[in-house]
Structure 1
Amino acid sequence: MSRTARLLDLLQLLRNRSTPITGPALAQELGISIRSLYRDIATLQAQGADIIGEPGLGYVLRPGFTLPPLMFSADEIEAIVLGSRWVAARADDGRLSQSAKQALSKITAVLPAELRERAEATNLLVARMGLAPATIDAGIIRLAIRNERKLIITYRGPDDTETERTIWPFLIGFFEQARLVAAWCELRQGYRHFRIDRISHVEATEVRYPRRRAVMLKEWRAEQNVPPPA
């Protein structure tokens, strides 16, 4: 294993823990000597990794440190390219699509030449398929989800009847032919799914819904028998 790969593995081990881990435990996990571990930690700290701790007490990586893109493997680069292209091609929100393109552009700009060429020449293609156009700004929904705020929507049902709903959105699902927002519906007093292309009006509010998004997501998964992400 190269030293660069070892440093990456060390960072990943620290990122996966929220409590300090001792030097001997880290060295054993990486299959290196304790002296090599101390040198690696010193190298990462010199490169800007906010690792705190000392021999005998353990080490922890403070949140906020990001891995340099040059440490991505070829497979990881292809996964990033494929995911970004999928969002750019399939999102029904212009801002989300543009953001995916910009993010991919920023990543490729700082890659080493070999990986940049591989990213630009990848043979992974995302097909464009027809989606029912949305008449509202889906960015309003995403912002409400991030901030845990209620939304007031006008929704057209399968029978073309429109109703006004106050919902607590917590998830947007991207499917082949439609985009759905999962939410608690005050009118129905239960979890419901709303096709974004059938929402004719959306009004943001500053009212925080009374439950945490993570709690509702867990309940929704149990109710819908949806397994947690891998």
Structure 2
Amino acid sequence: MSRAERLLQLLQVLGRYRRPVSGQILADELGVSIRTLYRDIGSLQAQGAMIEGEPGIGYVMKPGFMLPPIMFRSEELDALVLGMRWVADRGDKALSAGALSTLAKIAAVLPAELCRELQESSLLVGAPLTRPAHTISPDLLRAAVRAEQKLEITYVDRSGIQSRRVVWPFALVYFDQARVLMCWCELRTGFRNFRSDRILSVEQKPERYPRRRSILLREWRKFNQVASRTILPESDSISH
């Protein structure tokens, strides 16, 4: 266990106690010497953790103290770096910039040891085989999902057949080779998925759709649980 992980675990252990707990009990629970425990508590106090107490009396964390978001275990840091690198590489311009900015902000406030671990992470993202062209800005699609706004789209399916539909977009799914807009389709009166690279045009409707996107997502999940018990054409999963 790295020192950063040990300090994080100490904060988590202290957070479980409402009354002062002896240093020896804390040391035993963490599997460290009492000398290491005292040194770790001093380090946390120097970094701003609201820990009160002293040897022979015990230690307690003041009520209301929240675990700093800048503390991560190695696995959490790996997940963060890999996820942000994936978005930076696979996302559109706005998301890519957001991912890089997020990593920079986190690195700026991390303790030195964790900052080095973040910068030296060996988890990399491989280049995709293809990058399909998109006519429609993903910013527009994301904004419609957030605003629960109806869209009128012109869509071409894998057979080259075009259709005009009014849809209620409630999620945007990112795959390596495609982005898929999940919607309720007024034309089909049912859930349909549309590859964003096959959307030829989009017109934003002035009105919001009549249901919350969280409800639509919940109903879509129930629908998929039923649909998964039947045999569906492969194309149904991505390009209705």
TM over 0.5: yes
1:7-22 to structure 2, matched below 5 A, reads 7-8=11-12
Q: TM-score by structure 1 length? A: 0.72
- Letter aligned with residue 177 of structure 2: Q
Distance 1:83 1:9, change over 3 A: farther
1:182 equivalent in structure 2? 182
Separation of aligned partners in 1, 2:185 and 2:96: 28
| Identity over aligned pairs, percent | 42
| Distance in 2 (alpha carbons) for counterparts of 1:197 and 1:190 | 21
**How far apart, CA to CA, are the structure 1 residues paired with 2:150 and 2:117?**
44
- Give the secondary-structure state (helix, strand or coil) at the position aligned to 2:70: helix
Corresponding residue of 2:87:
87
CA separation of 1:218 and 1:9: change in aligned 2, threshold 3 A: farther
Q: Which amino acid aligns with 1:104?
A: L
TM-score by length of 2: 0.70
Q: Greater Rg, structure 1 or structure 2? A: 2
Q: Give deviations 1:56-107, integer Å, cap 9, x for gaps.
A: xxxxxxxxxxx5343112221111000001111112x211111111111111
Amino acid at match of 1:101: L
Residue 150 (structure 1) shift: 0.8
Which amino acid letter does the alignment assign opposite residue 68 of structure 2? P
**Contact 2:8 / 2:73 at 8 angstroms: preserved in 1?**
no
Matches within 5 A, 1:183-198: 183-198=183-198
Please state how far the C-alpha of 1:3 moved relative to its aligned partner.
6.7
| Counterpart residue number, 1:168 | 168
2 CA distance for matches of 1:208 and 1:43?
40
Root mean square deviation, CA, Å: 2.6
Unaligned runs of 5+ in 2: 22-50, 53-59, 229-240
Task: Kindly report which structure 2 residues correspond to 1:147-226, keeping only aligned pairs within 5 A, or say none.
Answer: 147-225=147-225
1:5 is matched with which residue? 9
- Counterparts of 1:2-151 in structure 2, within 5 Å, are 5-8=9-12, 30=16, 32=17, 34-35=19-20, 39-42=60-63, 44=65, 68-91=68-91, 93-129=92-128, 130-151=130-151
State whether residues 133 and 197 of structure 1, in contact with CA within 8 Å, keep that contact through their aligned partners in structure 2.
yes
Task: Count residues with an aligned counterpart.
Answer: 186
**1:7 and 1:209 mapped to 2: Cα distance?**
45
Q: Summarize the Cα distance change of 1:68–1:34 in structure 2 as closer, same or farther, 3 Å threshold.
A: closer
Q: Is the 8 A contact 2:8 2:72 kept in 1?
A: no
CA contact (8 A) 2:150 2:167 kept: yes
1:17 alignment partner in structure 2 = none
1:188 Cα deviation from its structure 2 partner: 1.1
Pair 1:10–1:207, CA change in 2 (3 A): farther
Pick closer, same or farther for the CA change 1:9–1:144 going to 2, 3 Å.
farther
Displacement after TM superposition at 1:210 (Å): 0.6
CA distance 1:104–1:3, shift in 2 (3 Å): closer
Task: Quote the offset at 1:166 in angstroms.
Answer: 0.9
Q: Judge conservation of contact 1:69–1:111 (CA < 8 Å) in 2.
A: no
Following the alignment from structure 1 to structure 2, what is the Cα–Cα distance between the partners of residues 216 and 42? 39
CA contact (8 A) 2:70 2:106 kept: no
Aligned to 1:26: none
TM-aligned CA deviation for residue 151 of structure 1: 1.1
